[in-house]
Structure 1
Amino acid sequence: MREDLIIEDTTLRDGEQTPGVALSAKKKIEIFHALIAAGMRWIEPGIPAMGGEEVAALKEMLERRDEVTLIGWNRGVRSDIQRSIDLGFRAVHIGLPTSDNHLKNSVRRDRSWLLGTAKDMVKMAKDQGCFVSISAEDIGRTEPRFLQEYAVAVTEAGADRLRLSDTIGILSPSQYAERVRAVAEVSDIDLQAHCHNDFGLAVANTLAAIEAGVRYFHVTVNGIGERAGMADIAQVVMSLRQWYGVDLGIDTTHLTTLSRLVSDACGISSSPWQPVVGGNVFAHESGIHTTGMLRESSTFEPFCPELVGGERKLLVGKHSGRGVIVHALGQHADGLDETALERLLDDVRAESIALGGAVPPARLREMAAALVTQRG
């Protein structure tokens, strides 16, 4: 694994392409500043060719271009790229497909057109002093030998980075890694992983790509993006930290706040089971789990909630034992002997089933007080 890994966030570009999501300039800028505050130093903030409010937001973001590398995303169209450069982007990305499927059915061109266009677009941007990133889109359906030919062509044209886009998420981790190694065999260009989550493998594919030698990789907050989304920033950052000892410069205590900010901006609530930042990640109810947690938090947590800005919760419900009930009641457990606790445990289970969830603390105290009164 490389020691010069670079994480790049595309929440504000690919992430905003989530169906049904449209971020205002104000919301995009708020997320942008939050990403920088969390330590993100490479950001793909949007698409200049969209014009209008998008450009207004990008202009404001570009005021911080000395602090963070901002990559303007473009189609493989000369006017798009020029617009990004004129706007002030020092780094541009050029989106081009490499699979026969996309060449035929999306852009309706052939491989000769692709190779010529890629070379021309790279040269145009490099001649104006830009860092140039270029895509090989739909690598899962691109013939490996042609992917290699394309990689050599863009390398010779002067591109700084080749983005390997698994456009519809159809590669397994081993297959994605094979594509990375195949390109590395013929070119020393820096590679970037761009993985979609159609089969739930975006994070796994990103890690496999990193192990295979990519330097750059894309993430989004909450894994948002087209269809099933992309690789989630919290999952990738924490996986690299916990399993590989890699510090990407991201302040992990911001991860939960970032997640909530983006959820609110998109109007889409995150699943309580969302890894790392979900509401249930540090919540415990079952008797065995809560007993262990009351003794030592590492028994049922891979890392402490404070590390990611989360909060531990011990809930009382259908699966709880007496220990967590006593813990939850605190001084309100005074006066409850073993028999009363056993009765309260039965009552808690019945109440939890009736409520369809956890018993609120206030209701638990009422139930305990009623038992004490009855026995008094």
Structure 2
Amino acid sequence: MYIEKVKKNMNLPETVRIFDTTLRDGEQTPGVAITVDEKIGIAKKLDQLGVDVIEVGFPAASEGEKEAAKAILDLGLNAKVCGLARVLKNDLDAVLDSDVDYIHTFIGTSPLHREYKLKMSQEQILDKAVEAVEYVKDHGVLVEFSAEDATRTEFPFLSEIYQSVEDAGADYINVPDTVGVMVPSAMHWLISKLNKDINIPISVHCHDDFGLAVANSLSSVEAGAQQVHATINGLGERAGNASLEEVVMALITRYDLPLDIRTSQLVNLSDFVSRITGVRMPPNKAIVGENAFAHEAGIHVHGVLEKAETYEPITPEMVGHTRRIVLGKHTGANALRSKLDEYGIEMSEKQFCTVYDQIKDLGDKGKKVTDADLKAIAVTVLGRAKKETVKLEGFAVMTGENVMPTATVKLRIHEELKTASKTGVGPVDAAINAIHSLVSETTDIELKEYNIEAITGGTNALAEVFVVMGDMEGNHATGRSTREDIVMASVEAVLDSINKILMVK
């Protein structure tokens, strides 16, 4: 609503080209190295996604880089295949030898780069830039020129060098915020000023040192930039680059720009790149994170179930994601009913309340309740004895090194309270022995079968205990309990089984 009010004041282009640099700047993420075969796999998926340009690497860096560039070019992709080169003949020749159809060349222009890295004057840098662009154009290849550290370069010199490379035949100029120092308003000002001096398309390459790479990229588009450099998952040097998935979805859904991107492939591609690079995305990563379309709070879940747009700006299917209703301490009744309906589990209101209370209790203890946990809890509640002749009133266990495992159990049997303490080879055995001693006057029972299974991984996983008890008359009954405490789950399962046997007597 409010975006529409300000769009008329923007200098939006008709569309925006997406220049993907995952295989170049993304690979510069500390600790990441991508093999030739892995680069080919990512390049194929990027092409299927629909990016306009794939920057495949820095061919002058190694034979492997050059081999990767050639291999990707041989795939016959729809996207332009680009190689990076400094404004040095050896670098440029390495890219040209790779037969790519697009060269991205650069040289530092800021006072810091001029004085400390290059030790060159403005005139020398300008001459090198122009020579490089002319050399590439003499070979009939598209060229994009970057003034490295542009956002810390004096504007008069920055404009001069961009105008000079344009006159030399550059097809695109790129404005890199090399160390991520810009803010959106400053980026808008800079691109707007350059737009008045430059006639060829302006591209931007923003880094995320202050978490502003996407915002600065979008502000640049508002000022007329026609191309954005980005990486899958925001990979890149230091804090990374502008995240491709965030830039793309913002441009399409917030600015209504027609990008030829198959957005439903974004989550799959994000996961693919994450697995190859070993850089896992945080759950709350926008667009592609595990929690991007997850809801736990009761009011949110209720809203989403009634009308998804209440708490989702886009549909999860649009980016290849799925909606998740998460169970925990903030879970509302609507969320739980929705989950139970999803799995076709029907229960009475009393049973529902029992499950609901257990879910909330687990959430209060910091437990993440998975769908598998819910199913186990629901099955346990559904299978409980309808009548509790024997009811647990108290329980304690003592165990440890050089200590005989001892359990004290207090039961209410036919409204009479009874307490017993027994030892065993372990806390579960001790607890069952104590129960057996207390109910022996009521029924002579024996444990026939005992099984335990962790529902999910982790030390806080719920334990599902399944038992079969039998009496001297040949009656058998199953008992089941699901708890984070294995001993308590065992006690509840045994008592459930005993109550079922007593119901048939």
TM-score range, shorter chain: over 0.9
Letter of the aligned partner of 1:364 in structure 2? L
Q: After TM superposition, give the deviation of residue 68 of structure 1 in Å.
A: 2.2
Question: What SS does structure 2 have at the residue aligned with 1:194?
Answer: strand
Is the 1:47–1:72 contact (alpha carbons within 8 Å) kept by the matching residues of 2? Answer: yes
Q: After TM superposition, give the deviation of residue 118 of structure 1 in Å.
A: 0.8
Is the 1:322–1:341 contact (alpha carbons within 8 Å) kept by the matching residues of 2? Answer: no
Q: 1:66 to 1:16 in 2, by over 3 A?
A: closer
Letter of the aligned partner of 1:265 in structure 2? I
Q: Is 2:32 the partner of 1:21?
A: yes
Deviates more, 1:254-263 or 1:75-84: 75-84
Q: CA separation in 1, counterparts of 2:99 and 2:113?
A: 31
Q: CA separation in 2, counterparts of 1:118 and 1:156?
A: 11
| Unaligned stretches of 5+ residues in structure 2 | 1-11, 388-505
Q: Is 2:129 the partner of 1:126?
A: no
Residue 365 of structure 1: aligned partner: 375
Q: After TM superposition, give the deviation of residue 342 of structure 1 in Å.
A: 3.5
Aligned mate of 2:102, from 91, 100, 104: 91
Q: Which protein has the larger Cα radius of gyration, Structure 1 or Structure 2?
A: 2
Residue 348 of structure 2: aligned partner: 336
Q: Is 2:285 the partner of 1:274?
A: yes
Q: CA separation in 2, counterparts of 1:121 and 1:335?
A: 74
Q: After TM superposition, give the deviation of residue 154 of structure 1 in Å.
A: 1.3
Q: Is 2:154 the partner of 1:143?
A: yes
Q: 1:40 to 1:335 in 2, by over 3 A?
A: closer
Q: 1:332 to 1:135 in 2, by over 3 A?
A: closer
Q: CA separation in 1, counterparts of 2:374 and 2:196?
A: 64
Letter of the aligned partner of 2:372 in structure 1? A
Q: CA separation in 2, counterparts of 1:48 and 1:343?
A: 64
Q: After TM superposition, give the deviation of residue 19 of structure 1 in Å.
A: 0.8
Residue 244 of structure 1: aligned partner: 255
Is the 1:332–1:368 contact (alpha carbons within 8 Å) kept by the matching residues of 2? Answer: no
Question: What SS does structure 1 have at the residue aligned with 2:174?
Answer: strand
Q: 1:357 to 1:301 in 2, by over 3 A?
A: farther
Question: What SS does structure 2 have at the residue aligned with 1:12?
Answer: coil
Residue 169 of structure 2: aligned partner: 158
Give percent identity, aligned residues only. 37
Aligned mate of 2:319, from 308, 314, 339: 308
Q: CA separation in 2, counterparts of 1:265 and 1:359?
A: 29
Q: Is 2:47 the partner of 1:47?
A: no
Q: 1:328 to 1:66 in 2, by over 3 A?
A: closer
Q: CA separation in 2, counterparts of 1:255 and 1:150?
A: 37
Letter of the aligned partner of 1:41 in structure 2? D
Q: CA separation in 1, counterparts of 2:30 and 2:117?
A: 19
Question: What SS does structure 1 have at the residue aligned with 2:118?
Answer: coil
Residue 90 of structure 2: aligned partner: 79
Is the 2:87–2:132 contact (alpha carbons within 8 Å) kept by the matching residues of 1? Answer: yes
Aligned mate of 2:78, from 63, 67, 79: 67
Is the 2:66–2:94 contact (alpha carbons within 8 Å) kept by the matching residues of 1? Answer: no
Q: After TM superposition, give the deviation of residue 370 of structure 1 in Å.
A: 4.1
Q: After TM superposition, give the deviation of residue 369 of structure 1 in Å.
A: 4.2
Q: CA separation in 2, counterparts of 1:65 and 1:368?
A: 54
Letter of the aligned partner of 1:77 in structure 2? L
Residue 347 of structure 1: aligned partner: 358
Is the 2:47–2:77 contact (alpha carbons within 8 Å) kept by the matching residues of 1? Answer: no
TM-score with structure 1 setting the length: 0.95
Question: What SS does structure 2 have at the residue aligned with 1:106?
Answer: helix
Q: After TM superposition, give the deviation of residue 336 of structure 1 in Å.
A: 2.5
Q: 1:340 to 1:67 in 2, by over 3 A?
A: closer
Q: 1:363 to 1:161 in 2, by over 3 A?
A: closer
Deviates more, 1:212-221 or 1:340-349: 340-349
Q: CA separation in 1, counterparts of 2:127 and 2:202?
A: 21
Q: After TM superposition, give the deviation of residue 52 of structure 1 in Å.
A: 2.2
Q: 1:108 to 1:281 in 2, by over 3 A?
A: same
Q: 1:125 to 1:368 in 2, by over 3 A?
A: closer
Q: Deviations over 1:299-345 (max 9, x none)?
A: 211111111000111122111012222222237753432x5433432
Q: Deviations over 1:14-57 (max 9, x none)?
A: 11111110101111110000000111231111111022222221
Q: CA separation in 1, counterparts of 2:225 and 2:375?
A: 55
Letter of the aligned partner of 1:5 in structure 2? V
Q: Is 2:42 the partner of 1:36?
A: no
Compare the two structures and name the one with the higher strand fraction: 2
Q: CA separation in 2, counterparts of 1:240 and 1:357?
A: 38
Q: CA separation in 2, counterparts of 1:361 and 1:185?
A: 57
Q: After TM superposition, give the deviation of residue 353 of structure 1 in Å.
A: 3.6
Q: CA separation in 2, counterparts of 1:178 and 1:362?
A: 53
Q: After TM superposition, give the deviation of residue 87 of structure 1 in Å.
A: 1.9
Aligned mate of 1:261, from 268, 272, 292: 272
Deviates more, 1:78-87 or 1:251-260: 78-87
Residue 56 of structure 1: aligned partner: 67
Question: What SS does structure 2 have at the residue aligned with 1:73?
Answer: strand
Aligned mate of 2:332, from 302, 314, 321: 321
Number of paired residues?
374
Write out aligned runs for 1:211-226 (5 A).
211-226=222-237
Higher relative contact order (CA 8 A, sep 6+): 1
Q: What is the aligned-residue RMSD (CA, Å)?
A: 1.7
Question: What SS does structure 2 have at the residue aligned with 1:164?
Answer: strand
Is the 2:146–2:175 contact (alpha carbons within 8 Å) kept by the matching residues of 1? Answer: yes
Q: Deviations over 1:166-191 (max 9, x none)?
A: 00010111111111122222221221
Q: CA separation in 2, counterparts of 1:225 and 1:74?
A: 17
Write out aligned runs for 1:2-17 (5 A).
2-17=13-28
Q: CA separation in 2, counterparts of 1:214 and 1:308?
A: 25
Residue 431 of structure 2: aligned partner: none
Q: 1:19 to 1:348 in 2, by over 3 A?
A: same
Q: CA separation in 2, counterparts of 1:252 and 1:45?
A: 21
